[in-house]
Amino acid sequence: MIVMSTDFSNPASVLNLLVNLFGQHLNMQSRLLLGDDFESLTDQEVRRRLECYACVATEDTVGKLYSAFGFAELPEGCEQLRENVARRYIDTAIFDSPQVREFLAHRHRHDYRLYDAVKRMSWPAEARAPVRPALLGGRSFTFDNFDEQVYLDSNPDVANAVKLGHVQSGRHHFFATGHSEERMGRHWVLPRAAVDEVTS
């Protein structure tokens, strides 16, 4: 409701909205991709951290990401692919006003830097053969039955992080954080002892 009541013809109203309602979203991509210390990072460190990812897409390259994950073919019985497009309720021309652009250039500068870095990089996932994640439902994963290679093949970003030395192994990643990210699907059982073994 606060968005709908904002006067989008008035730059001051838009700035007030950005600070008071969306302030926590400023530089959010930098926080998510680079870590909480994003403000202190050099350009070289930004690039080094981005190299852990198999692909980071922008609005111009998201189509390549879609294809790389193997979702380019329509399911049987589906005749068309519809884009998810929201109806716009505001006139976005206000974001071209000098006041708003100056505000974003200062308060949102870290995400602008991240965006430029992402556009300059090449990503292995854009050129790889399509793959689908391995969803191994109903299984209980332990150190004895965990398949390292299957996990790395299904999670190229983890494989790259292991290669670069940022993560000890795919197994370590899964038992430390991958299970909470549902990396192997939602319907598995993770024994408490397995978590304790890798986190202790």
Higher pLDDT residue, 79 or 60?
60
| Percent of the chain with pLDDT strictly greater than 90 | 24
pLDDT confidence of 187, banded at 50, 70, 90? very low
**Rounded Cα distance, 41 and 111, in Å:** 12
Residue 48 burial (CB < 10 Å; 0-12/13-18/19+)? middle
**Rounded Cα distance, 125 and 48, in Å:** 17
Higher pLDDT residue, 65 or 113?
113
What phi and psi, each to the nearest 5 degrees, are found at residue 189? Answer: -115, 125
- Evaluate the CA torsion angle 24, 27, 33, 34 in order and state its sign: negative
Higher pLDDT residue, 144 or 3?
3
Mean per-residue pLDDT over the chain, rounded: 77
* Residue 187, token pair as written in the block: 């319907």
Segment 7-32 mean pLDDT? 87
**Rounded Cα distance, 184 and 69, in Å:** 15
Q: Which pLDDT value is given to residue 176?
A: 82
Contacting residues for 144 by C-beta, under 8 A, at least 6 apart: none
Nearest one of 144, 146, 172, 139 to 158, comparing CA atoms: 172
Nearest one of 131, 155, 157, 172 to 50, comparing CA atoms: 157
8 Å CB contact between 188 and 140: yes
Q: What is the pLDDT of residues 90-138, one digit of tens each?
A: 778 888 999 999 999 999 999 999 999 999 998 776 666 555 444 444 4
Is 188 a residue whose pLDDT tops 50? Answer: no
Contacting residues for 81 by C-beta, under 8 A, at least 6 apart: 74
8 Å CB contact between 20 and 107: no
Secondary structure element (H or E) that encloses residue 151, with its range: helix 148-154
